[in-house]
């Protein structure tokens, strides 16, 4: 796959990059190994200092970095700036809390003393997607650098300039060579690297296919992996919900990041008695979105990340319609240049129609009516994915009961699935395993070593 910057607003090729050679990749891995030997000896204060400096540089260069994001993958410029802030927050969060998370944990055995000591495991490979080019990397790199690991990052091939900018930030912050290294290579080559004995763990955020490929290599080579994969979040509207609020969040939940969000609200499930009101208002707002140039502050929905992505989404919609789905809104690509897809709502979906089980990565919503809470839960759980989900109700206890029965890694009451540094993020089923962010996110690639202190007169 070519490593290129193509502006999805125009589909114009802006820049091409040479992939790294086998020799360059080998050197990069060796560099990360050498860096690990000294980085693991540093204390938490030194590691925190580096992360805080990178965070500060990110904030100082926010406008420039945000424009890179928008130019390479089409995110609205205001959201790109928000992503830079969030990424810097994640770096600061692990700098501020890492030492506490990684402090020795005393145990209480029957006799004698014991504790758990956290130590780094070595060089890690992170494979990252284009949809949040800075945030995804921050989630992986910040906790692991705080632990004392060193990281190699293979970023998505359509965001090479974002990938290189992150490496430059670490360099400008004074990171010793090899702590953070960008690998300009294709996905296939990333999977092939997993068998390299110098790499001790792998983390991938992306599609199920890429996750399965990387994790099977990791399994064969007895290496730990973390997978953050796709999702098809249910957004349940109960009859006691504040419908206007639910509609506002439904639109945000579906079109945030131009709809290209693993935790976007994708399946809207309304209890019959409020279904008409919800869908009428939701359709009205989706129909009136301002579609256009993501650099323009007035735009509400930009292009998809690439022409390929737009073609694939339009094809999923068409295949669903051919199989019996009804189009309530949109359904086609607008007649304008760029990787655009019209805001779309599909209904009359059932197993056998592609949109029922597949992830729809863009501004395409699926709408369902159900008779009661149990039917909503059953439908929400009838998915190969298990990432996030939401329940809208004014009865919080009822919301919690439903949240408890939804088979996903995250459920939000009265809000679409969202993210922040101190909340764990991750899924179940086809959405992967492991967690990023919060205290859980620093726990994945560490050796949790038991240290047992025994006395001479302890029993056998």
194 touches 221 (CB < 8 A): yes
Residues 348, 330: Cα–Cα separation, whole Å: 15
Name which of 294, 367, 263 is nearest 66 in CA terms. Answer: 294
| Closest of 125, 122, 102 to residue 36, by C-alpha | 122
Site membership for ligand NAP, residue 84 (CB under 6 A): no
Cα torsion 393, 399, 402, 403 to 10°: value is 120
| Stretch of 90-98, 115-123, 164-172, 184-192 lying at the interface with ligand NAP (CB under 6 A) | 184-192
Q: Which of 230, 343, 362, 389 binds ligand NAP (CB under 6 A)?
A: 230
Stretch that binds ligand NAP, among 21-29, 99-107, 181-189, 285-293 (CB under 6 A): 181-189
Of 347, 348, 115, 385, nearest to 229 (Cα)? 385
For residue 129, state whether it binds ligand NAP (rule: CB under 6 A).
yes
Residue 426 C-beta: closest distance to ligand NAP, Å:
7
CB 175 within 8 A of CB 49: no
The SS3 call for residue 449 is: strand
Shortest distance in whole angstroms from residue 229 CB to ligand NAP:
5
Q: Inter-axis angle of helices 135-147 and 44-60, to 10 degrees? A: 160
Nearest distance in Å: CB 415, ligand NAP: 17
Measured from the CB atom, the residue of 187 and 343 that comes closer to ligand NAP is 187
Interface mask toward ligand NAP for 420-439; x: CB under 6 A: -------x---xx-------
The CB-of-388 to ligand NAP minimum distance in angstroms stands at 9
**List 55, 88, 214, 402, residue binding ligand NAP (CB under 6 A):** 214
Does 188 contact ligand NAP by CB under 6 A?
yes
- Smallest Cα–Cα separation from 344: which of 263, 286, 280, 293? 286
Give the helix ranges, DSSP H, for 221-341: 243-255, 272-287, 307-322
Report the site for ligand NAP in 244-263 (rule: CB under 6 A).
Answer: 262
Q: For residue 392, what are the β-bridge partners?
A: 237
Q: Which stretch binds ligand NAP (CB under 6 A): 208-216, 251-259, 282-290, 372-380?
A: 208-216
Minimum distance from residue 139 beta carbon to ligand NAP (Å): 8
> Any contact of residue 294 with ligand NAP (CB under 6 A)?
no
Q: Counting Cβ atoms within 10 Å, is residue 324 exposed (0-12), middle (13-18) or buried (19+)? A: exposed
Judged by CB under 6 A, which of 87, 97, 150, 157 binds ligand NAP? 157
Bridge partner list, 236: 269, 391
To ligand NAP, the closest distance from the beta carbon of 385 in angstroms equals: 8
If the CB atoms of residues 1 and 22 are measured against ligand NAP, the closer one turns out to be: 1
Neighbours of 413 (CB within 10 A): 16
Which one from 81, 167, 228, 359 is the annotated catalytic residue?
A: 228
Q: Which is nearer to ligand NAP, 155 or 267 (CB)?
A: 155
Q: To the nearest 10°, the Cα dihedral for 416, 421, 423, 426? A: 80
Out of 180, 361, 367, 368, the only residue in the binding site for ligand NAP (CB under 6 A) is 361
Q: Report how many residues bind ligand NAP under the rule CB under 6 A.
A: 33
Interactions with ligand NAP, residue window 377-406 (CB under 6 A):
387
Please say if 162 is a catalytic residue.
no
Instruction: Give 177's DSSP letter.
Output: T
Q: Does 228 bind ligand NAP (CB under 6 A)?
A: yes
Residue 262 bears catalytic tag: yes
> For the purposes of burial, counting CB atoms within 10 Å of the CB of 221, is it exposed (0-12), middle (13-18) or buried (19 or more)?
middle
Give the strand pairing for 326-329 and 385-386.
Answer: unpaired
Across 281-306, b (16+ Cβ under 10 Å) vs e yields bbbebbeeeebbbbbeeebebbbbbb
Q: How far is the CB of 72 from ligand NAP (least distance, A)?
A: 12
> Between 217 and 373, whose beta carbon lies closer to ligand NAP?
217
With vertex at residue 274, the alpha carbon angle to CA 271 and CA 275, rounded to the nearest 5 degrees, is 70
Distance, in Å, from the CA atom of 339 to the CA atom of 321, rounded to the nearest integer, reads: 21
Q: How far is the CB of 261 from ligand NAP (least distance, A)?
A: 7
- CB-nearer residue toward ligand NAP: 47 or 154: 154
Select from 25, 65, 77, 127 the one that contacts ligand NAP (CB under 6 A). 127
| 140/249 with CB nearer ligand NAP | 140
Contact positions vs ligand NAP (CB under 6 A): 1, 127-131, 154-157, 186-188, 190-191, 204-207, 210, 213-214, 228-231, 262, 359, 361, 387, 427, 431-432
Residues marked active site are found at: 228, 262
């Amino acid at each position: 796959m070519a490593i290129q910057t193509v502006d999805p607003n125009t589909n114009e090729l802006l820049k091409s990059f040479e992939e790294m050679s086998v020799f360059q990749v080998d050197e990069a891995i060796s560099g990360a190994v050498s860096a690990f030997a000294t980085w693991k000896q540093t204390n938490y204060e030194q590691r925190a200092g580096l992360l805080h400096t990178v965070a500060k540089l990110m904030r100082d260069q926010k406008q420039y970095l945000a424009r890179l994001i928008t130019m390479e993958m089409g995110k609205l410029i205001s959201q790109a700036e928000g992503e830079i802030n969030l990424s810097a927050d994640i770096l600061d969060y692990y700098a501020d809390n890492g030492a506490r998370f990684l402090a020795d944990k005393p145990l209480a055995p029957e006799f004698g003393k014991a504790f758990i000591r956290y130590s780094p495991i070595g060089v890690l490979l992170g494979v990252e997607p284009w949809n949040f080019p800075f945030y995804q990397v921050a989630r992986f790199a910040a906790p692991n650098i705080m632990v004392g690991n060193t990281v190699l990052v293979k970023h998505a091939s359509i965001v090479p300039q974002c990938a290189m900018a992150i490496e430059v930030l670490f360099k400008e912050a004074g990171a010793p060579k090899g702590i953070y290294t960008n690998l300009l290579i294709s996905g296939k080559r990333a999977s092939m690297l997993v068998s390299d004995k110098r790499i001790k763990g792998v983390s991938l955020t992306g599609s199920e296919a890429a996750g399965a490929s990387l994790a099977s290599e990791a399994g064969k080579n007895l290496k730990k992996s973390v997978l953050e994969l796709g999702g098809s979040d249910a957004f349940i509207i109960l009859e006691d919900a504040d419908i206007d609020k639910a509609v506002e969040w439904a639109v945000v939940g579906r079109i945030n990041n131009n709809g290209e969000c693993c935790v976007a609200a994708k399946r809207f499930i309304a209890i019959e008695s409020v279904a008409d009101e919800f869908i009428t208002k939701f359709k009205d707002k989706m129909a009136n979105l301002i579609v256009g140039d993501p650099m323009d502050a007035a735009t509400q929905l930009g292009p998809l990340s690439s022409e390929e992505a737009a073609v694939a989404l339009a094809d999923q919609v068409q295949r669903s319609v051919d199989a019996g789905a009804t189009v309530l809104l949109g359904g086609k690509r607008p007649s304008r240049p760029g990787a655009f897809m019209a805001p779309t709502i599909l209904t009359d979906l059932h197993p056998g129609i592609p949109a029922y089980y597949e992830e729809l990565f863009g501004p395409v919503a699926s709408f369902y009516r159900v008779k009661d809470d149990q039917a909503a839960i059953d439908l929400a759980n009838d998915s190969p994915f298990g990432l996030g989900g939401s329940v809208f109700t004014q009865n919080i206890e009822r919301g919690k009961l439903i949240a408890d029965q939804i088979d996903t890694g995250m459920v939000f009451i009265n809000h679409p699935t969202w993210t922040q540094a101190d909340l764990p993020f991750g899924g179940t089923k086809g959405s992967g395993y492991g967690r990023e962010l919060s205290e859980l996110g620093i726990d994945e690639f560490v050796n949790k070593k038991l240290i047992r202190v025994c006395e001479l007169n302890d029993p056998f």
